Amino acid sequence: MMSGSYIQISRRALENNLAFLRARMGPGVRISSVVKGNAYGHGIETFVPLAEACGIGHFSVFEASEAFRAKGALRKPETEIMIMGMIDDGQLSWAIENGISFYVFEAGRLQHALKAACRIGRPARIHLEVETGMNRTGFGKEGLHQAAKLLMEHPEHLWFEGLCTHYAGAESIANYVRVTLQRRNFNRISKWLQSRELNPHCYHTACSAAAMRYPPTRMDMVRIGILQYGFWPSQEVFIEYSSRLEDKHNPLQRLISWKSRVMDVRNVKAGEFIGYGTSYLANHDMKIATVPVGYGQGFSRSLSNQGRVLIRGKRVPVVGTVNMNCLTVDVSGLGNAEKGDEVTIIGRQGDMEISVASFGEFSNQLNYELLTRLPPDIPRIVVE
């Protein structure tokens, strides 16, 4: 069935970004592809097999339900999945049975994991998250002692797969001191565990920003979200990266474009209002095209009379208010715009581009937030 709009995901862009990341991270560093938030809006079911085909063998999600979806989308039995956040005690058995690893940051979860692992007869793959200064999740000193004791006493049921933490804002230099203290704390905790012969299989701390800015944080594995999709964690990280280079060209390419088609075209006489209420008055004879995308599909209402889309290789303005399921644009300047013309909401058309960042600018949303909010029911299609 035809849908009002669709999202294209570019294989070539992903290959490009992964090649850049592999070269940058170095040969000893594994890349875990972070696919929480519906793969940052790209769609777990579409993105996971694509990334797998491009050589990714490890995925990170926030919660068990995402792990379940990622698992269903895998093509290779050896590909690994790690849950970094929420998993109910009841879901632990499922994770253990399926060899899915998960973060543990409080003693209760570790005890439940131990019980489940004993019952199932398979080890639980544990990533011990430690508190280093973010103050979100992670074992503090006391909890860590308890956890270490359990890990030492039950090596056959609790497999110490990873030691990890997360930095509190590595994308901004304003947090430099805090991140530096976190790194020091992490190293101190690692040494303490090593002194008790507790050696995890893998150390991992870096998200995209940390992996770019603080090379020692890369360790055995980096958890890369935003960069693989072709976006910088912040403008600051790109400026810092490119300031050292002659060539300031952006090495990343965006995977995503969001497209629709013109549903209807009509003429409006000077002096008429367009759409609901009085927010837009035609001050000359105009040609208006209707596009079947509205705030119900993630095109923010705050882009009323503000947003832009591309039609026939030209930027055209949204006129009037964005409705629930459609919006109207001024195509007077295009001459012969007609029903069925391709509309680009995000992405390229000819030489023109509408970036997610500029799409979001008017509605004050971060790339991360905007991508994640792209509705899951818009069809995703892989293109070359």
Chain positions contacting ligand PLP, by CB under 6 A: 34, 36, 84, 166, 207-209, 223-226, 233
Nearest residue to ligand PLP, by Cβ distance, number only: 225
Nearer to ligand PLP, 6 or 62 (CB): 62
Give the C-alpha separation, 117 to 92, whole Å.
9
259 belongs to the catalytic site: no
Please, is 129 exposed, middle or buried when counting C-beta atoms within 10 Å of its C-beta (0-12, 13-18, 19+)?
A: buried
Give me the least distance between CB of 225 and ligand PLP, in Å please.
2
Give me the least distance between CB of 222 and ligand PLP, in Å please.
8
H or E segment and range at residue 352: strand 352-354
Give me the least distance between CB of 217 and ligand PLP, in Å please.
11
Q: How would you classify the pairing of strands 256-261 and 342-349? A: antiparallel
Give me the least distance between CB of 317 and ligand PLP, in Å please.
32
Nearer to ligand PLP, 166 or 308 (CB): 166
Nearer to ligand PLP, 159 or 231 (CB): 231
The per-residue b/e assignment along 56-71, b for 16 or more CB within 10 angstroms, e otherwise, is bebbbbbbbebbbbbb
Count CA atoms within 13 Å of residue 128 on its CB side: 31
Catalytic hit among 36, 40, 103, 259: 36
Query: Residue 282's CB: how many other CB atoms inside 10 A?
Result: 19
Give me the least distance between CB of 194 and ligand PLP, in Å please.
23
203 belongs to the catalytic site: no
Nearer to ligand PLP, 231 or 295 (CB): 231
| Residue 13 near residue 254 (C-beta atoms within 8 A) | yes
Give me the least distance between CB of 97 and ligand PLP, in Å please.
24
Give the C-alpha separation, 15 to 50, whole Å.
10
| Residue 322 near residue 309 (C-beta atoms within 8 A) | no
The secondary structure of 142-167, three-state, reads HHHHHHHHHHHHCCCCEEEEEEECCC
Give me the least distance between CB of 163 and ligand PLP, in Å please.
13
* Structure token pair of residue 169: 């804002």
Nearer to ligand PLP, 164 or 322 (CB): 164
Nearer to ligand PLP, 163 or 293 (CB): 163
Give the C-alpha separation, 127 to 109, whole Å.
12
Give the C-alpha separation, 114 to 123, whole Å.
8
End-to-end CA distance of the chain: 22
Beta bridge partners of residue 223, listed in sequence order:
32
Nearer to ligand PLP, 222 or 268 (CB): 222
Catalytic hit among 176, 248, 276, 339: 276
**What are the catalytic residues?**
36, 276
